[in-house]
Structure 1
Amino acid sequence: MQQLTSYISGVWAYGQGKERAIHHAVSGEALYQVCSDGLPLAESLDYARQHGGKALAAMTFQQRAQMMKAVAKHLLAHKESLYQISAETGATRGDGWVDIEGGIATLFAYAGLAGRELPDDTLWPEDELIPLSKQSQFAARHVITSRPGVALHINAFNFPCWGMLEKLAPTWLAGMPAIIKPATASAQLTQAMVKLIIESGLVPEGALQLICGGVGDIFEHLDYQDAVTFTGSAQTGQKLRSHPRLLQKSIAFTMEADSLNCCILGEDVTPEMPEFAIFIKEVVREMTTKAGQKCTAIRRVIVPAAQMDAVQQALLKRLGGVTVGDPAHPDVRMGALVNLEQRDDVQQKVDYLLRNGCEPLCGGSLSALQLTGNGAENGAFYPPTLLYCADPFTHQAVHGTEAFGPVATLMPYQNAEQAVELALLGQGSLAGSLVTADEQIAAKIIRATACAHGRMLILDRHAAVESTGHGSPLPMLVHGGPGRAGGGEELGGLRAVKHYMQRTAIQGSPTMLAAIGREWVRGADVVEEQVHPFRKYFEQLAIGESLLTARRTITEADIVNFGCLSGDHFYAHMDKIGAAESLFGERVAHGYFVVSAAAGLFVDPGVGPVIANYGMENLRFIEPVKIGDTIQVRLTCKKKIKKAQKTAEDKPHGVVVWDVQVLNQHQQPVALYSILTLVTRQNGDFIPAA
């Protein structure tokens, strides 16, 4: 039997002490022994801080993003080896796809978010300048910096790849090293992925460590800059959350616990409608994917009493077509639970529900199990089980007991108020779904139940065509939920990165704040040179470099010509009588003409390093520009974002953000905004793949 080693302080090592066996979920064969006793787990924290932490903190957000993208490509190239190990956990190919390629896609997603939105720097200015004085020479802004700590990620057994990567992506992007502690039952798959990452040489030493087995006394050595995340049972999570060291040092702790997620069928839906079939398909998919071992799986199926018979018949028919057995068999659609202990736990929970107000419609015991394929008799299989609770308001067990397998319970409601009440009885869920074609029903139920859910899906015939489904967390959306779901929050785009960083309010003069943020802010000193900034390459431009343009007086002909050219004949610009009665008192120039005229003042028309206008942000019109007013523009280099050169043929470039202030003859701003330009870099940095 193989020994499943940990990766600690740069070495693959195995402990000495009580071992635990990992069995093949399908055959029952013992595959691995696991033990971390005696390993220097406390020293691994210092190793992470001194090696991985310092290396990651020295990298810019853009460099971390490129590292993550390279790791994702490497894992994708070796995915088949991971699929082979995934089958040992009872997963079908489809189950493995969600776990393996879904996790890799999360790395890609975060790398892309960072590439588009984060600075090429180690400090992240979070907001614009906040004036704190009349003359604006005392101001503030919030900045986000890396913390010199370690993230300890304690993950559940059901998604050994995705569960690691969805936490690892924002952790690395934040500049923090991670120690991964996977659930022992499926640790072999996590270890295989970690090995691929370590052997790739793409991440700094110490940025990733792995504990296969228990965490020993590692909690005793955590410090205030560290972070702990936990995914698993609420009981274990609450125990960890109350650890004295976490309380003493105010260590950040994020918990995501399994929850009794619901799916509601709207009162408007009848069997003849497409939404009815969508509902049936969604419930069955959530019951059988990963054999129901998902923290987001539908556990409570809330149905109008008038449609209960039709729903029962449709669900039983579809569940009857689900083949259970060895995932290697081509006809199998649902695999095994992760091990026999998990199977027994599911049976115990089902038995409890059956003693407390529920009755079986299908499944419910191992005697109902029919397997497809040979050699699966010793596996951890459990039949798809649909229960019915006739009075879910009286029998509360169905709202507090989760069988973590292919199990769901039908329950009726009489009106929308009862549907809402049943949804809220779950005491906090990761995800909820509503299937309806009625906008008013959707608005009423979602507004009333959103407070108890981390994410909610509304399905109708239109959304279902492209929907990722009830149980699929997405990198750009928050994953987590209140109450029973743990009260934590993960993913959610760049929100997740901030969980591992420190937000600090910085106060001072604009010039000082610009120097600290390496990003020019209004009111800070500027640098003016004879050479037009559009004649400079990306590397030659300095933050704070500025151009004060020539002036232009706005005429009536300008306004009339722009109105005819654009087709914008709004009365405030073209109707002398109407404009006189407006708040302006007379005709004013089109705002977009002001922007166009400003561009005419600051643009250098010759061929040069500027490739293109990339966009405009935060446009505000401050004061009206009237006939006879004179405008002038202050153009200032606000920040620079270096873009990676993807191929040798690509022209190396970066994005330059320019602050634009359009001023009138009184030096009052009439328009404020930022423009983004693509600017050529003199030096390429393309590195061909090995």
Structure 2
Amino acid sequence: MKLHSYAVGAWQQGADDGTLVTDAVYGEPVALVSSQGLDFGAMVRYAREVGGPNLRKYTFHERAAMLRALAQYLQARKEQFYALSYKTGATQYDGWFDIDGGLGTFFSYSSLARRELPNERFLVEDDPLTLSKQGTFLGRHILVPREGVAVHINAYNFPVWGMLEKLAPGLIAGVPAIVKPATQTAYLTEAVFRAMIESGILPEGAIQLICGGIGDLFEHLNEQDSVTFTGSAATGRKLKVHPNLVAHAVPFNMEADSLNCAILGQSVEPGDLEFELFVKEVAREMTVKAGQKCTAIRRVIVPKDKLEAVLEALKQALSQVTLGDPRRPEVRMGPLVGAAQRRDVQGVLEQLKAQGCEVAFQGSSELLGGDWEKGGFMPPTLLYSPKPWESGAHDLEPFGPVATLMPYGSLDEAIALARRGKGSLVGSIVTYNRQEARTLFFGCATHHGRMLILNRENAQESTGHGSPLPLLVHGGPGRAGAGEELGGVRGIKHYLQRCAVQADPTTLVALSNEYVRGAKVREDVVHPFRKYFEDLEIGESLLTHRRTVTEADIVNFANLTGDYFYAHVDEIGARDSIFGKRVAHGYFLISAAAGLFVSPAPGPVLANYGLEHLRFIEPVGIGDTIQARLTVKSKSAKDPKPGERPTGVVTWAVEIFNQEGKTVALYDILTLVERKPAVQNSTASA
């Protein structure tokens, strides 16, 4: 069959003389892959002129809802994706990382966006910055979607997860994408992509697909566009310096294969649970996806006096690995992506042996199904480097089921060996000794994008060395590419343009849809707690009546709470304190302020949802008079669950001040407010 690309809103078939892709297990033909005939300039224009405007019409929450719906649609069809995944050499366990892992990233980012981002089409990043003495000139950072296209170039080892983990943050940001999968496994990517288009969930132009080469695609990119790349460091460096990318300063995020390591702590003894965890983790990382992971452990750094014990334990674990057709349940490891990849790995192995590495163990070549000659099978291979400082394993990566044992004499030596990788995506430290973990972590952190510290307390729930998580950064310095992917909201910000705006407080409110202290407020005869979510306006405010704080207030609050701190109840002690007198409890002020502004009757305000950013600024003593101002700061509609009444969260800015007009406390309170039953959609607008 011929793979199709999806360009300018239509499926387009490749040429007859494309690249033939074969089954990794039996070497049988699977697909012809070619992008010949694609108009790459038209694809870029279509993304900018159709996809971008269509996505930017929606808020973060609305785009997150699309992502969730898309994940559910794909999840219902994942068995057909597994059937194709076996052809890539992946076992069902391998497919779980790729297929379910990719869908999990969609689900995770959908939840993250609705939880941590506003229901807006832009993101206000930080608190206002005062740029003048009187507070009439403020600064703030607002992030908006780039008006270009994100080009995602993916590696062959994760044809599903590689695509979805890049699409998730970009689509939520409101940026359309062009996906270019690696040719060897593009047939699986194309199947998942085809289902995404068939779902009709994403707006027109949001995503496009290139099966085959990228032609002159880079020639059409400009400063509004971005490129993400996953693959070999050598290829990434060539693409990164493309003249047009350099000329337009196109952001280029590279995530390259790296020589990741696992370090066994000196304090760990054979028989310890940490020793077993270390061996299990190394063996798993060598065999999952047949070692074809950018996060796989390549260097196994162990204390000299534990070397023999580790070697014997790894031999025992790896000898139980069965090779063959990944469809068979008894098969533990499938083939590499193809015979050509096996030849590449074997070539690197020969170079490593020439540079002093020895073969310490090689697994059985017996197959449980599959074709040894036509497929990409290779047994797990453990090398030993007797002179680790001179080892080529710090520079050469066999991208397959291969790892190299390296002995160390001290923690400083272990750190230095780990750093010889010149930048890694991930490293693991296995120890139950916290001081040892601290020394190794801070010694290695500068050279790693992520560090797993594994011990008996987290082993049950740990996702393991090689599993990137949506909420954490995936990337690393140096050889690993110096890029960052995922990382929660941080990943979404990669596709947003940060713009610093300088303006007066009231103008900032108009731009940000968020009240800023010092801006003009609006007051109404109707108490704000008597209004539905839709009727409340940003900047709507209530100035309360006043209340004088008495000694009885302080004593009663102390008796009620049991807080007899000397500054509140000890006249002599308080006189010698930083206040010079007895003062009211800070939490009494908050409680008293609530009494000033709360409307007690049942109404649209349903519940207190939380309190944030509390600061006590000036002390309040006996005889001082307080007053409060309550102002609508921001609003965010919540997605109602079936059977629930529709609600939204309203954030109120609260300022408590004294008889001299001095601010004594500042904070935000969040309330759950009922929406009008007939209104289901967000009222937020850009």
Question: C-alpha separation between the residues in 2 aligned to 1:494 and 1:374?
Answer: 43
Question: C-alpha separation between the residues in 2 aligned to 1:158 and 1:614?
Answer: 45
> 3-state SS of the aligned residue for 2:475?
strand
Q: Is the 8 A contact 1:258 1:485 kept in 2?
A: yes
> 3-state SS of the aligned residue for 2:245?
helix
After TM superposition, list the pairs within 5 Å mapping 1:170-569 onto structure 2.
Answer: 170-363=169-362, 368-373=364-369, 378-395=374-391, 397-569=392-564
Render the CA deviation track for 1:597-645: whole Å, top value 9, x for unaligned. Answer: 1111111111111111111111111111111111111100011111112
Question: C-alpha separation between the residues in 1 aligned to 2:220 and 2:270?
Answer: 59
Q: In the TM superposition, what is the alpha-carbon distance from 1:685 to its structure 2 partner?
A: 6.4
> 3-state SS of the aligned residue for 1:158?
coil
Q: 2:162 corresponds to which letter in structure 1?
A: G
Question: C-alpha separation between the residues in 2 aligned to 1:676 and 1:686?
Answer: 20
**Residue number among 669, 672, 675 corresponding to 1:681 in the alignment:** 675
Question: C-alpha separation between the residues in 1 aligned to 2:326 and 2:571?
Answer: 77
Q: Is the 8 A contact 1:646 1:686 kept in 2?
A: no
Question: C-alpha separation between the residues in 2 aligned to 1:5 and 1:376?
Answer: 30
Total equivalences in the alignment? 681
> 3-state SS of the aligned residue for 1:441?
helix
Q: In the TM superposition, what is the alpha-carbon distance from 1:576 to its structure 2 partner?
A: 1.3
Q: 2:659 corresponds to which letter in structure 1?
A: Q
Q: Is the 8 A contact 2:423 2:479 kept in 1?
A: yes
Question: C-alpha separation between the residues in 1 aligned to 2:48 and 2:16?
Answer: 28
Render the CA deviation track for 1:138-189: whole Å, top value 9, x for unaligned. Answer: 1110100111100000000111111111110110111100000000111111
2:662 paired with 1:663 = no
After TM superposition, list the pairs within 5 Å mapping 1:599-678 onto structure 2.
Answer: 599-647=594-642, 649-678=643-672
> 3-state SS of the aligned residue for 1:463?
coil
Q: In the TM superposition, what is the alpha-carbon distance from 1:668 to its structure 2 partner?
A: 1.1
Q: In the TM superposition, what is the alpha-carbon distance from 1:684 to its structure 2 partner?
A: 5.3
Quickly say closer, same or farther: Cα 1:165–1:270, change in 2 above 3 A.
same
Note the residue ranges of structure 1 that are not aligned, 5 or more in a row.
none
Q: 1:456 corresponds to which letter in structure 2?
A: M
Q: Is the 8 A contact 1:645 1:685 kept in 2?
A: no
Q: Is the 8 A contact 2:3 2:14 kept in 1?
A: no
**Residue number among 576, 580, 587 corresponding to 2:582 in the alignment:** 587
> 3-state SS of the aligned residue for 1:426?
coil
Q: In the TM superposition, what is the alpha-carbon distance from 1:646 to its structure 2 partner?
A: 2.8
Question: C-alpha separation between the residues in 2 aligned to 1:254 and 1:33?
Answer: 29
Q: In the TM superposition, what is the alpha-carbon distance from 1:232 to its structure 2 partner?
A: 0.1
Q: In the TM superposition, what is the alpha-carbon distance from 1:375 to its structure 2 partner?
A: 5.5
Q: Is the 8 A contact 2:278 2:430 kept in 1?
A: yes
Q: Is the 8 A contact 2:505 2:516 kept in 1?
A: yes
Question: C-alpha separation between the residues in 2 aligned to 1:172 and 1:39?
Answer: 23
Counterpart in the other structure of 2:14? 15
Question: C-alpha separation between the residues in 2 aligned to 1:338 and 1:604?
Answer: 67
Counterpart in the other structure of 2:42? 43
Question: C-alpha separation between the residues in 2 aligned to 1:248 and 1:683?
Answer: 54
Question: C-alpha separation between the residues in 2 aligned to 1:283 and 1:677?
Answer: 49
Q: In the TM superposition, what is the alpha-carbon distance from 1:274 to its structure 2 partner?
A: 0.8
- TM superposition score normalised by structure 2: 0.98
Q: Is the 8 A contact 1:645 1:684 kept in 2?
A: no
> 3-state SS of the aligned residue for 1:657?
strand
> 3-state SS of the aligned residue for 2:328?
coil
Quickly say closer, same or farther: Cα 1:116–1:374, change in 2 above 3 A.
closer
Render the CA deviation track for 1:307-350: whole Å, top value 9, x for unaligned. Answer: 00100000000101111111111111111111111111111111
Q: 2:119 corresponds to which letter in structure 1?
A: D
Question: C-alpha separation between the residues in 1 aligned to 2:448 and 2:119?
Answer: 36
Q: Is the 8 A contact 1:432 1:470 kept in 2?
A: yes
Q: In the TM superposition, what is the alpha-carbon distance from 1:272 to its structure 2 partner?
A: 2.0
Q: Is the 8 A contact 1:361 1:387 kept in 2?
A: yes
Which stretch of the first structure deviates more once superposed, 349-358 or 376-385?
376-385
Using the aligned pairs only, state the percent identity: 58
Counterpart in the other structure of 2:31? 32
Question: C-alpha separation between the residues in 1 aligned to 2:564 and 2:369?
Answer: 74
> 3-state SS of the aligned residue for 2:350?
helix
Q: 2:385 corresponds to which letter in structure 1?
A: C
> 3-state SS of the aligned residue for 2:285?
helix
CA RMSD of aligned residues (A): 1.2
Question: C-alpha separation between the residues in 1 aligned to 2:270 and 2:501?
Answer: 60
Q: 1:666 corresponds to which letter in structure 2?
A: E
Render the CA deviation track for 1:197-254: whole Å, top value 9, x for unaligned. Answer: 1110100011010000000001101111000010000111000000000010010110
Question: C-alpha separation between the residues in 1 aligned to 2:674 and 2:188?
Answer: 44
2:569 paired with 1:574 = yes
Quickly say closer, same or farther: Cα 1:684–1:286, change in 2 above 3 A.
farther
Q: In the TM superposition, what is the alpha-carbon distance from 1:16 to its structure 2 partner?
A: 3.2
Question: C-alpha separation between the residues in 1 aligned to 2:624 and 2:394?
Answer: 69
Counterpart in the other structure of 2:684? none
Q: Is the 8 A contact 1:14 1:39 kept in 2?
A: no
Question: C-alpha separation between the residues in 1 aligned to 2:372 and 2:587?
Answer: 70
Render the CA deviation track for 1:327-377: whole Å, top value 9, x for unaligned. Answer: 11111111111111111111111111111111111228xxx5221236666
Q: Is the 8 A contact 1:619 1:671 kept in 2?
A: yes
Question: C-alpha separation between the residues in 2 aligned to 1:370 and 1:565?
Answer: 76
Question: C-alpha separation between the residues in 1 aligned to 2:110 and 2:669?
Answer: 24
Q: 1:583 corresponds to which letter in structure 2?
A: I
Render the CA deviation track for 1:556-589: whole Å, top value 9, x for unaligned. Answer: 1111111111111111112111111110011111
Question: C-alpha separation between the residues in 2 aligned to 1:437 and 1:561?
Answer: 50
Q: Is the 8 A contact 2:620 2:664 kept in 1?
A: yes
> 3-state SS of the aligned residue for 2:184?
helix
Q: Is the 8 A contact 2:324 2:333 kept in 1?
A: yes
Question: C-alpha separation between the residues in 2 aligned to 1:593 and 1:53?
Answer: 51
Q: In the TM superposition, what is the alpha-carbon distance from 1:17 to its structure 2 partner?
A: 6.4
Q: 2:675 corresponds to which letter in structure 1?
A: R
Q: 1:324 corresponds to which letter in structure 2?
A: L
Quickly say closer, same or farther: Cα 1:550–1:57, change in 2 above 3 A.
same
Q: In the TM superposition, what is the alpha-carbon distance from 1:683 to its structure 2 partner?
A: 3.5
> 3-state SS of the aligned residue for 2:96?
helix
Question: C-alpha separation between the residues in 1 aligned to 2:293 and 2:605?
Answer: 50
Question: C-alpha separation between the residues in 2 aligned to 1:66 and 1:162?
Answer: 19
Question: C-alpha separation between the residues in 1 aligned to 2:130 and 2:16?
Answer: 61
Counterpart in the other structure of 1:82? 81
Question: C-alpha separation between the residues in 1 aligned to 2:678 and 2:442?
Answer: 52
Quickly say closer, same or farther: Cα 1:239–1:374, change in 2 above 3 A.
closer
> 3-state SS of the aligned residue for 1:280?
helix
Counterpart in the other structure of 1:167? 166
Q: In the TM superposition, what is the alpha-carbon distance from 1:378 to its structure 2 partner?
A: 3.0
Q: Is the 8 A contact 1:652 1:684 kept in 2?
A: no
Render the CA deviation track for 1:407-452: whole Å, top value 9, x for unaligned. Answer: 1000000011100100000000000000011111111111111000
> 3-state SS of the aligned residue for 1:37?
coil
